[in-house]
Structure 1
Amino acid sequence: MELLDPTHKIYLLDNNNFIFPTLEMMDNDLVAVGGDFHPQRLINAYKNGIFPWFIDEYNHIHWFSPQERMVLFPDQFKVSKSLRRTINNKGFIVKTNENFEEVIRNCSTIKRKHEDDTWIDENFILAYINLFKLGYAYSIECYLNDVLVGGLYGVLINDIFCGESMFAKEKDASKVAFYHLCKQAKENGIKMIDCQVYNDHLASLGAKEISREEYFKLL
């Protein structure tokens, strides 16, 4: 690993090992580029508070560790009255790890506000399917009339669930999946859900920003 940009402390990863910059070596949100999607590299990244976000035009993976990290503690999930009615009356059936690949592929194609394109290309899809097969990646799925209409996926590292993406084809379907993620987290001793970066939707569900330093302490 060498220093690619001394001004902003961005590192070029070595393909021959799976080492990442430490907290003391970080400056901006973008902390490294390069490397590959070897499963051990991905696992090491999450263990070091880092995640891949997108691949640039030179086929370099960009690795991030935000200075302000969006997280949700499972017991702080906010259930609105309307969401409670949906959970109780809509008829959604929620399952875990029944169709991981369909979840991530839906996440890669769903249209989102303020986003023209997706970072979840085929490289990401195959990498996380591999992590799923190795027992590190998980999906929560929401079905209506036996059709997958919402869900989310992420990576479980020790007692932290690192959320990656979610989708909904029916109103509140992703919120219902998130509710069940928090429920399972509380039942299984998962202390925190890493939501990565701020957005209003996550904030409305009870997620909040903490400093990178505080996040690393929780790691």
Structure 2
Amino acid sequence: MIGMSITPDLLLHGYSIGVFPMAEHRDDPDIFWVDPKRRGIFPLEHFHISRSLARRMRRGGYRVTIDQDFEGVLDGCADRAETWINGEIRALYIQLFHLGHAHSLEVWEGDDLIGGVYGVVLGAAYFGESMFSRRTDASKIALAYLVDRLRQAGFRLFDTQFLTTHLASLGAVEISRADYHRRLRAAIDLDAEFTLPPVPTAQEVIQRNTQTS
């Protein structure tokens, strides 16, 4: 278990060696490190937007922003019956955001935050923490824009921590711990800038992510 002495620097060090923090539930004050034997990742070069998602994206009615409501995305991800985001974890990621090591991508419908994703950045590695959706396909739209951003910005690793049925349906795969650590070491030694690419149009995202399989 991790005591209350955990700091943003310690948290970043954990990511750099392949572990990440979790709590049993939102009211549990204890945090523990996790290093899965099998790790979920999104192969950025193989991500493919489905025809149904492309149709939804073309219909519009939403807008996408970067780092405009990090706390809103964080709280949206924690707003579920069971969550590993307790008070200390929430505070730590907000600190990482202000230090420039955590970022959010938001999906809006008018002034309503309807979906989003947030994660941690080290070098050219992006550690996806969680995503949420308050409208049909909002999290899928967020993921499509996120993967496009990671590719355009030069990221080499998109870590999803675990492989769920939902993530697998979107193209995520599972690799061994040893393979993950090898990819991690290579990625964190490279440079990538999450905030650099401008927010593209839906058509640009679709075109760039339907040319690979």
TM-score by length of 2: 0.81
Matches within 5 A, 1:1-219: 33-35=1-3, 36-54=5-23, 59-109=29-79, 111=80, 116-219=81-184
The separation in 1 between residues aligned to 2:155 and 2:28, in whole angstroms, is 37
User: Structure 1 or 2: larger strand share?
Assistant: 1
Greater shift in the superposed pair: 89-98 or 204-213: 89-98
The one-character-per-residue Cα deviations of 1:127-152 (angstroms, maximum 9, x if unpaired) are 10000000000001001122110001
TM-score by length of 1: 0.79
Which residue identity does 1:117 align to in structure 2? E
Q: CA deviation at 1:55?
A: 5.1
Bigger radius of gyration among the two: 1
| 8 Å CA contact retained: 2:38, 2:176 | yes
Structure 1: which 5+ residue stretches go unaligned? Answer: 1-32
The Cα of 1:76 is off from its aligned counterpart by 1.7
Letter in 2 for 1:42: L
Q: 1:58 to 1:85 in 2, by over 3 A?
A: closer
**Alignment deviations for residues 143-201 of structure 1 (CA, whole Å, 9 cap, x no partner):** 11221100010001111100001000001101111111111111111012100011011
How many correspondences in the alignment? 182
Q: In structure 2, what is the Cα distance between the partners aligned to 1:166 and 1:202?
A: 11
How far apart, CA to CA, are the structure 2 residues paired with 1:183 and 1:134?
A: 24
CA distance in 1, matches of 2:87, 2:29: 12
Distance 1:81-1:129 versus aligned 2 partners, 3 A rule: same
Deviation at 1:59, TM superposition (A): 3.5
Offset from partner CA, 1:100-151 (integer Å, 9 cap, x none): 0111011111x3xxxx421112211111000000000000100112211000
Identify if the C-alpha distance between structure 1 residues 148 and 58 changes in structure 2 by more than 3 Å, giving closer, same or farther. closer
Aligned-partner SS, 1:34 = coil
Q: Distance in 2 between matches of 1:87 and 1:190?
A: 23
Q: Percent identity?
A: 37
5+ long unaligned stretches in structure 2: 185-213
Contact 2:28 2:86 in 1 (8 A): no
* Greater relative contact order (CA < 8 Å, ≥ 6 in sequence): 2
User: Which has more helix, going by share of residues?
Assistant: 2
